[in-house]
């Protein structure tokens, strides 16, 4: 069973890395392309089935947490509470981890003050797009 889970995680890591490669290798990606790829990336990282992947970030995170806890999403409010000492709920923690993973994987810096307002993959893509453009422009300047 542990080996099966290790294989599943290794496959998810491989697939998510390939998606990030596609984004990095696309010069000046448009927001629609980014949204599609980020949605795929999040689906793989959160180990969601195709039908569970949506534009709604919170819904995908809730689905992932509920699956991990082997409960229905409707049961989450009763069990997903912040712990003591000022910690966050599992859904909020996963949201932070997801933004950090995208940031690290694309080698960009997302302003942490902007992330709380991001609720959809489309909004995330619109936030990421100019950061990728800046990075591409900087690389081109370094070449000349």
At 139 the pLDDT is 56
Is 82 part of any domain?
A: no
Distance CA 27, CA 120 (A): 23
Work out how many domains the chain is built from and give that number. Answer: 1
Distance CA 120, CA 132 (A): 19
How distant is the alpha carbon of residue 143 from its chain centre? 31
At 2 the pLDDT is 77
* Residue partners of 27: CB distance under 8 A and separation at least 6: 136
- pTM for this entry: 0.86
Residues 111 and 45: beta-carbon distance below 8 Å: no
pLDDT of the chain along its 144 residues, tens only? 778 888 988 999 999 999 999 999 998 899 999 999 999 999 999 999 999 999 999 999 999 999 999 999 999 888 887 776 667 888 999 999 999 999 999 999 999 999 999 999 999 999 999 999 887 666 555 545
Is 9 part of any domain?
A: yes
Is 81 part of any domain?
A: no
Is 83 part of any domain?
A: no
């Amino acid at each position: 069973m542990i080996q099966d889970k290790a294989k599943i995680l290794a496959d998810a890591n491989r697939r998510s890395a390939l998606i990030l490669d596609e984004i990095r290798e696309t010069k000046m990606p448009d927001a629609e392309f980014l949204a599609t790829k980020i949605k795929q990336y999040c689906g793989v990282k959160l180990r969601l089935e195709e039908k569970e992947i949506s534009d709604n970030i919170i819904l995908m995170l809730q689905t992932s947490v509920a699956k991990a806890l082997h409960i229905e999403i409707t049961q989450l409010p009763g069990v997903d509470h912040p712990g003591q000492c000022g910690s966050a709920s599992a859904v909020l923690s996963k949201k932070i981890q997801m933004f950090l993973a995208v940031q690290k994987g694309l080698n960009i810096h997302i302003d942490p003050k902007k992330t709380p307002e991001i609720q959809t993959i489309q909004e995330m893509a619109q936030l990421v797009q100019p950061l990728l453009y800046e990075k591409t422009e900087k690389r081109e300047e370094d070449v000349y």
